[in-house]
Amino acid sequence: MSYEQKDLTGSLFRNKRKEKDTHPEYTGSVTLNGEQYWLSAWLKKDKHSETYMSLALKPKDEPPRQGARLSAQTPKDEKPPFDDADIPF
């Protein structure tokens, strides 16, 4: 039986794939009002050197940003090497 996250609960795990300072220290998920979200957390310090967590939520069903992955590989005036219509499923 798989784990089902209850409403108004979430989990965070240390991000073992962090490669840049801009990547979150922790990642996970949360369920709010029956909707699932990705949860990211960064450790930061305020002006008094107190550590706190900065959080960001992103809907799990939100489509990826247009061209987010291809933009680093494909020049803007060139078409991507494939189209969603080319994928048979």
33-67 tens-digit pLDDT: 999 999 999 999 999 999 999 999 999 987 655 54
Would 1 be classed as within a structural domain? yes
Domain that holds residue 56: 1-68
> Whole-structure pTM over 0.85, yes or no?
no
Vertex 23: Cα angle to 20 and 28 (nearest 5)? 145
Q: How many domains does the chain have?
A: 1
Q: Is the pLDDT of residue 79 over 70?
A: no
Q: Is residue 41 part of a domain?
A: yes
Residue 7 lies in a domain: yes
Q: In what order do the strands lie in the sheet with 35-45?
A: 9-14, 26-32, 35-45, 51-59
Question: Does residue 73 fall inside a structural domain?
Answer: no
pLDDT band at 87 (very low <50, low <70, confident <90, very high): low
H/E stretch holding 13 reads strand 9-14
Domain-embedded: residue 64: yes
Answer whether residue 87 is part of any domain.
Answer: no
CA dist 38 and 56 (Å) reads: 8
